[in-house]
Amino acid sequence: MDRKLRVVVVGGGIGGLTAARALLRRGLEVHVYESSPELKEIGAGVALGPNAMKALRSLDLEDAVRGIGYHAPVQFLRTWKGRMISKTDATLAAQRFGANGCTIHRADLLDVLAQSVPVGAVHLSARCEAVTTSDSGAAARFTDGTEVEADVIVGADGIHSAVRTSLFGPDAPQFTGRICYRSVIPVAELPAKRLEPYEGLWLGPHGTLVVYGVRRGELVNIVAHYEDATYQHESWIAECDRGEILERYRGWHASLQEIFGAGDIWYKWALYDRDPIAVWTRGRATVLGDAAHPMLPYLGQGAGQAIEDGCVLAAALDKLGADPSAALQLYERSRRPRASRVVLTSRSRGDDNHLVSPVAALKRDVAIAVRKRLGSDVTGRGEGWIAEYDAGSPAALAG
């Protein structure tokens, strides 16, 4: 093909904008269609592991993300009563995996990504309702009746993807019986006025608490998981009463009571699980990010996997651009096994975090300490294979 390949990306979130950046750097013509009237994110943090940071490095975005993110010098893992299970020095992860992780406000990450693509490449207030594909191209139809054609269409339209439904039919989410509370609070409003007494992962019976800094450590992001089968609303923006959280985590460590008391606005989100999807690609259309592999948040890998997808998709289209259908198959072969494994590992990590039996929890904690002591496993939780991966390396493409 002599002319530039024309790619339409549906969805201007973390995955869609990363893919656009990666595709533009490979010299392709890219148009992003986003349903919202502006590029914006919900007020929450996102953890980017070493794998995500290496992918961003390959797109020349690592420094910009690090500049507005937060870098915990130590990762703390504690029990709900405050006993330290493990401490992981950030420099160790950097040595072992070639990059340190980072935590960032979602809006700050989206700003960095949005600034990395030309304004004219993003079309706002464009809600896609269906995608069709043939041997020679694909087309996306929008709710205002317009249609755009492209050589390739990429559905990066999130967990409730219209592109995925249009290509493969509706999914079958299963309610997990778990919910999440979350808030973002200025560190200056915490009683201790610093992060350290609160930060890290806290594991307790029926629940997990995740506390980390964002925006250079000026804000703290809290995600509090708990088992509750009565609330089943899968929304990221439904508010709830702080009193409910204080009551639920009564008996957890005093630092956590302080942090709950400091948050004015809390959100409540029911967690749904989905099995890995068997097919991502049909003809000239494919999916990426949450549209391809929605996952539970226990590994903090949803955004990281979306970012990896964009890098690998661009490499595949660069390599086999003369045959776009083959390029999309190469992308899927390269990405689906890994992303599916992350989906399943996130599921089992949730079970491991929420152990109720004190004996089972102690066995888990001892196993973590032993694995760390043996030296082969940096965090002691067997996730080195996730952090090792480098989406920017030619080896990320399947043979």
Q: Which is nearer to ligand FAD, 17 or 317 (CB)?
A: 17
Contact 69/214 with Cβ under 8 angstroms? yes
> Residue 19 Cβ, how far from ligand FAD at the closest point, in Å?
9
User: Nearest approach, Cβ of 323 to ligand FAD (angstroms)?
Assistant: 26
Q: Which is nearer to ligand FAD, 128 or 203 (CB)?
A: 128
Nearer to ligand FAD, 244 or 319 (CB): 244
Q: How far is CA 336 from CA 275, 308, 332, 343, in A?
A: 12, 11, 5, 10
Rounded distance between C-alpha atoms, residue 398 and residue 175, angstroms? 34
286/361 with CB nearer ligand FAD: 286
- Residue 13 or residue 204: which is nearer to ligand FAD going by CB? 13
Using DSSP bridges, classify how beta strands 285-287 and 152-155 pair: parallel, antiparallel or unpaired: parallel
Task: Evaluate whether 30 touches 121 at the Cβ level (below 8 Å).
Answer: yes
* φ, ψ of residue 378 in degrees (nearest 5): -60, -45
- Which one, 35 or 132, has the nearer CB to ligand FAD? 35
Q: Across-strand partners of 322? A: none
CA distance 182 to 396: 34
Give me the least distance between CB of 2 and ligand FAD, in Å please. 30
Round to whole Å and give the CA distance between 246 and 256.
Answer: 9
Give the interface with ligand FAD as residue ranges (CB under 6 A). 10-16, 33-36, 44, 46-47, 127-128, 156-158, 162, 182, 236, 289-291, 297, 300-304, 306
CB 332 within 8 A of CB 287: no
In the bound complex, what is the minimum distance in angstroms from residue 360's beta carbon to ligand FAD?
26
Q: Between 182 and 338, whose beta carbon lies closer to ligand FAD? A: 182
- Cβ(245)–Cβ(181) below 8 Å: yes
Q: Report, in Å, the least distance between residue 36 CB and ligand FAD.
A: 5
Q: How far is the CB of 76 from ligand FAD (least distance, A)?
A: 16
Q: So which residues are the catalytic ones?
A: 212
CB 158 → ligand FAD: shortest distance, Å? Answer: 3
